Chain A
């Protein structure tokens, strides 16, 4: 479903992703793990047509995201690391816009919006503005939205960041359910090793832009001789803390607050 060969992305002097290769099979739940700044999000951005690779080849469902972006975009749904909903619109309107942008015809669109909102227990609150939702509800809505156009692949970039254990648990139950019933391939990143251990069939660990290990959770534990995935992860990537510089988005968020979030 996804094929990556010798993929590299360079920002100035920095090689964010450095000659990585991996494959994700159809119907697989694949976890892409790594410390902050390891290159996870950059890789997802390249797979999802938001960034062009510096070199190497990519294939998503047999297509090159750089060459045929719109065809690739129809095939995946994505939940970004940062929220990407319109808070001034209602849950239903957010779904509706997505359906139109993805050319889902009206009748199946209305049916599937209802089906998904019910599945994620948001139907009762469909006409409320999203800015009034809790973090967990927003995340659920984003996943529901990402599935509206029946994608073959679902990208989840740290979808459980900042959620309580109950919501996380529920979210992964949904994801596993979708994977089993609809055969959706799932490509996820997370910092919670127990989650990866629980849902992922295969894992790749990336650090400093390079893939340092690959295999099932069991294999990674055996490879490193540790009993938990968390320990295996630390053994693979070291225990030094990675500091990320404040991004321009963070600075803007701060500034946006000062401006009273007018938009």
Chain B
């Protein structure tokens, strides 16, 4: 009696979570950056923000910091593929009698779950730092946005990991893809009244819709509107999952 195809997806998903839970030092270390952004920017730029009549900057930036955490965590976890290629475990899964798409999905969902855990941890940190949600009833919706961001960028990480042959490309991806995605997302500043080029660039950044979705659900401030946010994120996620699975199925080791 064989087991369902889900079992392969499940076991690879579980692997990512086990690895995450076992890397406690890394979990703590990875909270450092968001904390720094929150404290230094949140309180440092607070007075200026207040003077401009925009209210509390900590309130404004916290959803952005949560989105940033999920972005970095999911992209890195997705690109964990590169480490598995290097240390050989990838080969073990590629010769298994399992369709490649199951392997890709298990990995990607695992990476996304890790990113969600990180996002939740940072949410708690934000709460401790004084962040308050506008309406607790919107929290499940906020969680969904976080999950969408996690899936989207895990799929992106997997896609990148499938194409890159080695880790040398990692720094380049950081500087030319992940950081621009972060800085153009409006995580740190409001998207209204931007100069033309920047405004167009932010509209092309899928994370901008994620940040906006989180901001809408958490503090009730919206730029694109929830309908636009969710539809762009869903379409982008499905597209990247498709692209990622195509690229993953072509990996030769």
Chain A interface residues (CB < 8 Å from chain B): 45, 48-51, 69-71, 73-74, 78, 80, 82-89, 93, 96-98, 100-103, 105-106, 129, 145, 248-249, 251-253, 255-256, 259, 261-263
Contact = CB atoms under 8 A, between A and B. Distances in A.
B177 interface: no
Contacts of B83: 256, 261-263
A85 B167 contact: no
B96 A101 contact: yes
B132 interface: no
27 contacts: A48-B95, A50-B91, A50-B252, A51-B252, A74-B97, A80-B92, A82-B91, A84-B88, A84-B92, A86-B89, A89-B19, A100-B3, A100-B7, A101-B97, A102-B97, A103-B2, A105-B2, A251-B166, A252-B82, A252-B166, A252-B168, A256-B86, A256-B87, A262-B83, A263-B80, A263-B84, A263-B87
A67 B9 CA distance: 24
Contacts of A45: 253
A105 B7 CA distance: 11
Nearest to A80: B91
B17 to A, nearest CB: 11
Contacts of B95: 48-50, 73, 78
Nearest to B19: A88
A252 B167 contact: yes
Contacts of B51: none
A256 B86 CA distance: 8
Contacts of B11: 96-97, 100-101
Nearest to A93: B18
Contact of A105 (B3, B19, B86, B96): B3
Contacts of B222: none
Nearest to B98: A101
Contacts of A129: 22
B136 interface: no
A70 B2 CA distance: 14
Nearest to B253: A50
Find the residue from B23, B80, B166 having the highest chain A CB count within 10 A: B166
Nearest to B15: A97
B116 interface: no
Give the top 3 A-B pairs by smallest Cβ distance, nearest first: A263-B83, A84-B88, A101-B96
Nearest to B2: A103
A249 B86 contact: yes
B47 interface: no
B15 A80 contact: no
A80 B88 contact: yes
Given A73-B96, A89-B15, A255-B167, A101 B8 contact: yes
A133 B88 CA distance: 16
Find the residue from A45, A69, A252 having the highest chain B CB count within 10 A: A252
A144 B93 CA distance: 16
A49 B168 CA distance: 28
A256 B82 CA distance: 10
A131 to B, nearest CB: 10
A138 to B, nearest CB: 10
Nearest to A256: B86
Contact of A89 (B8, B18, B90, B168): B18
B121 interface: no
B165 interface: yes
B81 to A, nearest CB: 9
Nearest to B99: A70
Find the residue from A71, A86, A248 having the highest chain B CB count within 10 A: A86
Contacts of B165: 248
A223 B22 CA distance: 57
A97 B166 CA distance: 25
Nearest to B77: A263
B97 A83 contact: no
B1 interface: yes
